[in-house]
Amino acid sequence: MSASTQPLVSIRDVTRTFTRGSENVHVLTGLELLVNDGEFLALMGPSGSGKSTLLNLIGGLDRPTAGSVAIGSERVDQLTDGQLAAWRARHIGFVFQFYNLLPALNAERNVELPLLLTGLNKAARRRHVAAAFEAVGLTHRAKHFPRTLSGGEQQRVGIARAIVTDPTLLLCDEPTGDLDRKSGDEILTLLQSLNRDHGKTIIMVTHDPHASARASRTVYLDKGQLSTTPTA
């Protein structure tokens, strides 16, 4: 089996239950998902279906109530909190709907932030930041502050920040949800390029069929279960 078809993400019999007062709320129930190395997967489903919960489990921001979450050969659900923080810094890049840029820092410094958790010196950090800006086509705006950037440009900065550490997996939570169609299309084209030309494995939560059409595969989550077809 070639490297490109090796499962990178293995979700096995995962259940996630939250307690609300005296009630147990079952968000995910016996969920199974495999994502191949180099795949661009879209995850769709109605509001409250558990899409973001699943993304958080994959990214090590949450733990399953039962079942296993493995990224490559690493059982993420078995790591301690300290191990998880170090693992996320090495392997996961997050892209958020509302960018989450720090307004007091220019774009360049926002992108550099994840590198401060590594052992890279200043010169090496600058090289990584420059490469990330080149990859997202925003080198000419690197010195600008978030307030002077359009929504699409802010999201490009967010993507540059997500890829600056060369993560194993890119997790995108509604990355075009706050953008107009033109800007959203540009972001989707960029994500496709990162997947196709840079080999990035991407999992994207979206409610927009127009966005999911850009992915290589779409799965649908509803009532804690996944399927390959949307529910009625």
Question: What pLDDT, in 10s, does the model give residues 64-105?
Answer: 999 999 999 899 999 999 999 889 988 999 999 888 999 999
Q: Write the CA distances from 8 to 23, 159, 224, integer angstroms.
A: 35, 21, 22
What pLDDT, on the 0 to 100 scale, is given for residue 8? 95
Instruction: Specify if 42 maps to a domain.
Output: yes
Asked if 89 contacts 169 with a C-beta cutoff of 8 angstroms, the reply is no
As a whole number of angstroms, the distance between CA 35 and CA 52 comes to 16
Amino acid at 185: D
User: For residue range 31-45, what is the model confidence (pLDDT) as tens digits?
Assistant: 999 999 999 999 998
CATH of the domain at 87: 3.40.50.300
φ, ψ for residue 22 (rounded to 5)?
A: -95, 5
AA identity, residue 41: L
Domain count, the chain: 1
Structural domain span for residue 154: 3-227
Question: Is 232 among the domain residues?
Answer: no
The pLDDT, as a whole number, for residue 129 is 97
The answer as to whether 17 is a domain residue is yes
**Residues in the chain with pLDDT values less than 70:** 1-6, 231-232
In a domain, 120, yes or no: yes
| 135 within domain boundaries | yes
Alpha helices in 46-104 (DSSP H): 51-58, 81-91
Rounded to whole angstroms, the Cα distance separating 141 from 125 reads 18
Would you say residue 125 lies in a domain?
Answer: yes
